[in-house]
Amino acid sequence: MTDTPSSPTDPVDDDLLASLYLDGEATADERAQVEADPQLLARVRSFEAMAADLASVTPPPELARLQISAALDLFDEQQVPSTASTGTPGPTSGVTSLSERRDQKQSRGLPTWLSAAAALVLVVGGLGFVSTLGGGDDDSAASDVAMDDETDASESGASRVIEDTETSMAAAEIASDGAAEAMEDEVMDDEAMDDETADADAMEESSSDDGDEAGAPPSPIPLDELEAASAEEYLSLLIDQRLRPIEDSPCAGSPLVDGLFGVDSFIEVVYRGELSSLLVQEGVPSTAVIVGPTCEIALR
C-alpha cells in the first residue's frame, strides 16, 4: 500500500505527531514536542473536533430496539439447548435463559442489582469472620474460574452466581453457607431482572419494592447515580459503598480498583466455599477480581 514513511520535514509528520498525541500513542518525546508547539496543539484540537463529530451518531431508537431484540432471540436460542440438555448451566455458566427473565420482567420490575449488592454486603461482611483462605488451592481454583467457567459450579460445590448487567443484576444462582443462605431466597426472588429500558421511574418504583424486603441493603446506591453510571462506575460505587469493610483487610491499597475498572458490562459474583472469597468477573470469564482474607486478586 502507500504507507511509506514521511521525511522528517514532511508536513505529514505534523499530522502523525498530532494523531499520536491525540490518541495517547505518542512517546514522551513526541508529547513534549507537541506540547511545545502551538500549531501542533491546534492540529490536535482540530483532529479532536473531527473525532467528536465522527463519533456523534444517534441510531434510530426503533431500529435499536428491533436489532437488539433480534440478537436476544438468537441468544436465547443458543442458551436454551445448552441448559435444557444437561440440566446444568452451559459453557457461559451463570448466563441464564433470557426468555425466563424477560417473562418475569414483565410482571416485576425489581432491580436485582440491589439484591446482588445486598448479597455482596453479606459476603463481604462474611469475610470478616471467615478464616484465612485455603492458600494455593483457592487461588488456583479462583483463577480457574476466571479462566474456565466450567469450574464454577463443580469446584465450589455450593457456589452460586449472580450475573449482572449494567444497571440490573440477574441473580442466576447464589449458594453459600451461613448468612448468605438467608439471602438466597430473596436473591432468587429478585432473579431475572434485566431492566429493559433502564427507565428511572421503573427503577425507583422497584427500589421502593425492594425496600420492603427483609435483608435489603441499608443504604442502596442512589438510583440516579447508578443509572448514569457505566458498569465500571457502578462497580466502583459498589466497592466504595459496599466493600468498605474490607479496607481493613490485606486488600487495602491493592490494585483492586484497576481491576474493577477493567470489568465491562456484567459481572458474576461467585461465592466459593465458606464465603472465603468473592469473585467479580465479567459475564464470560475475563477480567476477574478476587477478594478474600488473603487478598487474592487475579486480573486478566
Partner 1 sequence: MDLLLARHYERLYALCRRMARNDADAADACQEALMAIVRGLDKFQGQSTFRTWSHRVASNACLDELRRRQRRPIAVIEEPETISDGPDLDQQVADRLTIEAALPHMAEEFRAPVVLRDVMGMDYAEIAETLDIAPGTVRSRISRGRRQLAELLGNQNAPPERPNKSTTPPTPSS
- Here the cell at position 266 is 456484567
Nearer residue to partner 1 within complex by CB, 176 or 206 = 206
Could you identify the residue written with the cell 457502578?
A: 234
| Rounded least distance, CB 178 to partner 1, Å | 30
Nearer residue to partner 1 within complex by CB, 94 or 220 = 94
CA distance readout (Å), 290 to 19, 144, 163: 38, 12, 15
Torsion-angle region of residue 157: left (phi > 0), alpha (psi -120 to 50) or beta? left
| Rounded least distance, CB 129 to partner 1, Å | 32
Nearest by Cα to 124 from 234, 231, 271, 253: 271
| Rounded least distance, CB 187 to partner 1, Å | 19
Contact (CB, 8 A) for 20 and 33: no
Nearer residue to partner 1 within complex by CB, 96 or 176 = 96
Contact (CB, 8 A) for 114 and 190: yes
Nearer residue to partner 1 within complex by CB, 91 or 211 = 91
| Rounded least distance, CB 143 to partner 1, Å | 11
Nearer residue to partner 1 within complex by CB, 72 or 175 = 72
| Rounded least distance, CB 34 to partner 1, Å | 12
CA distance readout (Å), 4 to 8, 9, 10: 12, 14, 12
| Rounded least distance, CB 46 to partner 1, Å | 4
Measure CA 74 to chain center: 22
| Rounded least distance, CB 2 to partner 1, Å | 8
Nearer residue to partner 1 within complex by CB, 154 or 230 = 230
Nearer residue to partner 1 within complex by CB, 25 or 212 = 25
DSSP alpha helix (H) spans, the chain = 12-22, 28-35, 38-55, 61-86, 98-107, 112-129, 136-147, 151-156, 179-189, 200-211, 223-228, 231-242, 256-261
